């Protein structure tokens, strides 16, 4: 194995024209290794890997640091390709020696063109673009006769049978660099009008052109003030922002579009329900990328509500509130082939028509029970009670609970948390309706359980409730209830 390693090291030193090449060659041929070398070459026993160029060899040399390595860089990549390997964005960014990366080594040796070319990246332009912003400003300005990597991008697109967006705009007399000012002096509307006059319209690429510092248009607060215009323009073009767009950043030290939304208190715009109809899974996945403590004015509860609206907009067309409606339909899932269940009583639009629903059921001698409302629904695993509260119909839940002879709204119904960690208490607090939870009629004979619920109410929401008064009323109603039962019992004995 040692002999084979010596051969490989010498080969690497040769292709990199290392200054110690003769020493590598001498090491191979000493001690009668010639016959062995010929045998290895004949059998193809030498395999080159990236490690041979990027990590220290037995002499402590890193071959890619050699000037000659960059003279033969195309040959090196060709040899690696034969062995199923290639240099990636991660390889170019890793520190090789003394904080030097492959990009900085290439720049120092005047060999940036060895990295930034169409052959190297083929259809992976975005990866190349991220490396581009590791190059110094001066080197970027002078690259490709001051054109930067635009000619390389053009060639990559051409090979893929696509036309560069910058060139499409140029063909209609528009300089793509004007897009950087689209949100100033009402230029957005002007550009929109101009593009349409030329048979074109805004495309997603127009909002992701990068400035000289590697930032998108979304770094500006002005862009977020006009975010609805952006999403509307994309909708007109049959496009939309995907998770990858929100997470995109050309430089590691720059913020992504999602992070810019956090910075500008614009999460409520990103997670607006109208943008995510039919895409609940993606919406929730993107939310998982928002760090706790950075959500600002848009809370987990706000997100829950938007998800509920998305579920409603996605599935409300699957149920009709007409005379054919019955209890069985209300408890039958509206979706299939997914990991969660959407129930009719889990849709806000059903609660907005709850009076009509109850009238239809009453004609069939049916009614909604608390057991129906305890069922989990939706991606967030809310119970239907929470959805009713989100829709502003918790008073109907109270009516159902009071009307039930053998069931009550229980502690677990009120404190059970969904995936986001929110409970019915949180929903009612957010809606400033927590007082309704302490309707004395709900707690007749259950003052102790009510007190357990009270202890779970956030301190800043307790001021909305005159708890002592509620407790007194519960005790009065409890006493009256017991007296009523005694009278009935006495009447029955006479």
pTM recorded for the entire structure? 0.78
Q: What is the three-class DSSP state of 95? A: strand
For residues 122 and 81, the answer to whether their CB atoms sit within 8 Å is no
Report percent pLDDT > 70 for the chain: 93
For residue 184, pLDDT over 50 is answered with yes
User: Contact, 361 vs 402, CB < 8 A?
Assistant: no
**What fold characterizes domain 314-493?**
1.25.40
| Sign of the dihedral through C-alpha 261, 264, 270, 271 | positive
Domain locations in the chain as residue ranges:
163-266, 314-493
Q: What does the CA dihedral 226, 230, 231, 237 come to, rounded to 10 degrees? A: 160
Percent of the chain with pLDDT over 90: 61
Task: Kindly report the number of other CB atoms within 10 A of residue 4's CB atom.
Answer: 14
Contacts of 352 (CB under 8 A, 6+ apart): 391, 393
Query: Which single residue is written with the structure tokens 């990549």?
Result: 77
Q: At what angle do helices 2-15 and 34-43 cross, to 10 degrees?
A: 80
Neighbours of 390 (CB within 10 A): 24
Round to whole Å and give the CA distance between 297 and 293.
Answer: 11
What angle is formed at CA 402 by the lines to CA 397 and CA 408, rounded to 5 degrees? 85
**Per-residue model confidence as pLDDT tens digits over 253-273:** 789 999 999 999 999 999 999
What is the distance between the alpha carbons of residues 17 and 99, in angstroms, rounded to a whole number? 23
- Model confidence over 2-12: pLDDT tens digits? 666 777 888 88
Q: What H or E segment, with its residue span, contains residue 376? A: strand 376-377
- The residue among 114, 154, 112 whose CA lies nearest residue 133 is 112
What whole-number distance in Å separates Cα of residue 221 and Cα of residue 336?
Answer: 41
Rounded to the nearest integer, the mean pLDDT of the chain is: 89
With the C-alpha atoms ordered 157, 158, 160, 164, is the resulting torsion angle positive or negative?
positive
Residue 268 has φ and ψ, to the nearest 5°, of -65, -25
Phi, psi values for residue 397, rounded to 5°: -65, -40
pLDDT digits (tens, 9 = 90+) for 58-102: 889 998 888 888 888 888 888 788 778 899 889 999 888 888 899
Give 410-448 pLDDT, tens digit per residue. Answer: 999 999 999 888 999 999 999 999 999 999 999 999 999
Residue 19 Cα to chain centre, angstroms: 50
What's residue 71's pLDDT?
86
At 492 the pLDDT is 46
Residues 201/192, Cβ–Cβ less than 8 Å: yes
pLDDT of 108-163, one tens digit each? 989 999 999 999 988 788 889 889 999 998 999 889 888 899 999 999 999 999 99
Question: For residue 469, what pLDDT is reported?
Answer: 96
């Amino acid at each position: 194995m040692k002999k084979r390693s010596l051969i490989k090291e010498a080969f690497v030193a040769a292709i990199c024209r290392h200054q110690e090449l003769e020493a590598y060659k001498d090491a191979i041929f000493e001690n009668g290794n010639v016959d062995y070398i010929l045998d290895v070459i004949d059998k193809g026993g030498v395999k080159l890997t990236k490690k041979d160029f990027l990590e220290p060899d037995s002499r402590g040399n890193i071959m890619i640091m050699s000037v000659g390595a960059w003279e033969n860089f195309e040959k090196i990549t060709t040899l690696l390709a034969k062995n199923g390997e290639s240099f990636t964005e991660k390889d170019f960014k890793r520190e090789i020696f003394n904080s030097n990366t492959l990009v900085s080594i290439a720049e120092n040796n005047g060999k940036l063109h060895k990295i930034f070319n169409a052959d190297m990246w083929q259809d992976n332009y975005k990866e190349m673009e991220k490396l581009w912003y590791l190059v110094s400003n001066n080197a970027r300005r002078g690259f490709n006769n001051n054109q930067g990597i635009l000619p390389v991008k053009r060639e990559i697109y051409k090979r893929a049978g696509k036309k560069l967006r910058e060139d499409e705009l140029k063909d209609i007399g528009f300089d793509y660099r004007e897009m950087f000012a689209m949100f100033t002096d009402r230029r957005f509307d002007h550009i929109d009008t101009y593009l349409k006059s030329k048979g074109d319209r805004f495309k997603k690429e127009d909002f992701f052109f990068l400035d000289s510092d590697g930032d998108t248009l979304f770094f500006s607060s002005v862009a977020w003030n006009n975010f609805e215009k952006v999403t509307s323009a994309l909708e007109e073009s049959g496009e939309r922002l995907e998770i990858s767009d929100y997470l995109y950043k050309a430089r590691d030290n720059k913020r992504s579009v999602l992070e810019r939304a956090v910075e500008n208190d614009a999460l409520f715009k990103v997670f607006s329900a109208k943008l995510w109809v039919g895409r609940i899974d993606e919406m929730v996945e993107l939310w998982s990328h928002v760090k706790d403590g950075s959500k600002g004015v848009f809370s987990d509860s706000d997100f829950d509500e938007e998800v509920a609206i998305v579920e409603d907009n996605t599935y409300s067309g699957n149920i009709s509130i007409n005379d054919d409606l019955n209890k069985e339909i209300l408890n039958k899932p509206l979706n299939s082939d997914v990991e969660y269940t959407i129930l009719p009583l889990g849709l806000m639009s059903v609660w907005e028509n709850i009076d009509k629903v109850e009238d239809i059921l009453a004609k069939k001698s049916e009614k909604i029970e608390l057991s129906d409302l305890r069922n989990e629904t939706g991606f967030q695993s809310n119970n239907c009670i929470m959805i009713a509260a989100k829709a502003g119909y918790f008073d109907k839940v109270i009516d159902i609970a009071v009307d039930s002879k053998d069931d009550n709204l229980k502690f677990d119904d009120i404190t059970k948390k969904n995936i986001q960690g929110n409970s019915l208490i949180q929903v009612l607090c957010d809606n400033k309706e927590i007082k309704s939870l302490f309707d004395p009629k709900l707690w007749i004979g259950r003052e102790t359980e009510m007190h357990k619920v009270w202890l779970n109410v956030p301190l800043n929401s307790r001021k909305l409730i005159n708890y002592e008064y509620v407790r007194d009323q519960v005790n009065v109603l409890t006493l009256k209830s017991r007296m009523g039962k005694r009278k009935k019992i006495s009447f029955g004995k006479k």
